[in-house]
Amino acid sequence: MTTAAVIVAAGRGSRAGGATPKQWRRLAGRMVAEHTLAAFRASPLIGPIVLVVHPDDREIAAPLAAEDVMLAEGGATRADSVRAGLEALAPAAPRHVLIHDVARPLASAALIARVCAALEAGATAAAPGLALSDALWRGSGGEVAGVVPREGLFRAQTPQGFDYRAILAAHRAHPGGAADDVEVARAAGLAVAIVEGEAQNLKITTPGDFARAELHLRGRMDIRVGNGFDVHRFTEGDHVTLCGVRVPHGRALQGHSDADVGMHALTDAIYGALAEGDIGRHFPPSEPRWKGAASRIFLEHAVALAEAHGYGLANADVTLICEEPKIGPHAGEMAATLARIAGVEAGRISVKATTSERLGFAGRKEGIAAMATATLVRP
């Protein structure tokens, strides 16, 4: 991988309101910095990422470190922080580097790709700009004092991309006080190509910007619902396993695995939301290795598959249909067990039960049915 990214997150961000710097405030369910990191990690064009943070923020930033995300300590000014990020990349020696403000969490994959493409095409530096579409006025004393021609004017955005060695040398040589890295590059005599910016790539500065960014993110959010249904018949035995909980009973449930009908319904609901078939497709009953298997491996697999597709389990609701055993005394433990296996907080999973008024196979106590609904959300 020849392109790295430096995300500058060492600012104190007081204009956005609140005591916490804006990059650590929550936006549509996760921190601003997490959205920004996710945008770069999702790009197949980007290799190592350096997140430059203020020394006081090490603790809050620590969980964001990963195999491809390294943390670096920022300096007193933005330029100092960028330089610290660039120096941290020295061992990786990337060919190109994109430098991005953490407060722009909405930069799209297409924008990142445009900047990378300009560098690949031979530019030493390339940065997104948005041509102005509004008229520009000069104001004085609350009145319009003149109109400024907007031809040739651009709003500067990030990520700004550079030849790594050229921008590192430019930063080392710069006396300080530059507004952005394009200014540093130009001071070193580098030509900077303009690529098309994007309107949604707003920089969170004021409290109102949080609301605007949240609207964009919610508009992108992908919400999926799946349902699952399963039945197992009773056979000889002394207990049943329902939603991961062993319940003593005069009979057992018959099945290839542990016959946990509730966990099967939930697992199928998750596969269904992903349009990924059902348990039988991922764990064929023809394979002896799943005989007597604990059903938690099915649920763990479905949740991992959801995560691989970028989805988290927002909630699930499981209904067991049987005359006996009595589910009520165990329902809380069942919900907690499913939540633990699925890796979500308690309160996101519900387990409840009903009889079928002694009608049908469940009413005749021939077996237990279960149905489940699961909601998956990709932010």
Give me the residues that bind Mg ion (CB under 5 A), please: 230, 264
Q: Give least dist CB 232 to Mg ion, A.
A: 6
Nearer to Mg ion, 154 or 229 (CB): 229
Residue number of the CB atom closest to Mg ion: 264
Min dist. Cβ of residue 268 to Mg ion (A): 8
Beta strand pairing call for 251-253 and 193-196: unpaired
Query: How would DSSP label each residue in 83-94?
Result: HHHHHHTTTT--
* Alpha-carbon gap, residue 77 to 178, rounded angstroms: 10
> CB 289 → Mg ion: shortest distance, Å?
17
Q: Toward Mg ion, which CB reaches closer, 249 or 264?
A: 264
| Comparison of 114 and 264: residue with beta carbon closer to Mg ion | 264
Q: Which residues pair with 252 in a beta bridge?
A: 235
Nearest approach in angstroms of CB 371 to Mg ion is: 12
Nearer to Mg ion, 56 or 287 (CB): 287
Neighbours of 329 (CB within 10 A): 9
Min separation Cβ 321 and Mg ion, Å: 14
CA distances from 52 to 10, 82, 88 (A): 6, 7, 9
Burial profile 279-301: b = 16 or more Cβ within 10 angstroms, e = fewer: beebbeeeeeebeebebbebbeb
| C-beta separation of 299 from 228 below 8 A | no
- What is the spatial distance between Cα 312 and Cα 303, in angstroms, rounded to a whole number? 8
**Considering beta carbons, is residue 230 or 317 the nearer one to Mg ion?**
230
Q: CB of residue 290 vs Mg ion: minimum separation in angstroms? A: 11
Min dist. Cβ of residue 265 to Mg ion (A): 8
Decide whether 169 or 293 has the Cβ nearer to Mg ion: 293
Looking at the Cβ atoms of 101 and 230, the one nearer to Mg ion is: 230
Angle at which helices 296-308 and 261-273 pack, to 10 degrees? 10
Residue 229 token pair: 């249904």
Burial 69-100 (b: 16+ CB within 10 A, else e): bbbbbbbeebbebbbbbbebbeeeebebbbbb
Minimum distance from residue 339 beta carbon to Mg ion (Å): 20
Number of Cβ within 10 Å of residue 317's Cβ equals 18
Sign of CA dihedral 141, 145, 147, 152: negative
For Mg ion, the closer of residues 154 and 361 by Cβ is 361
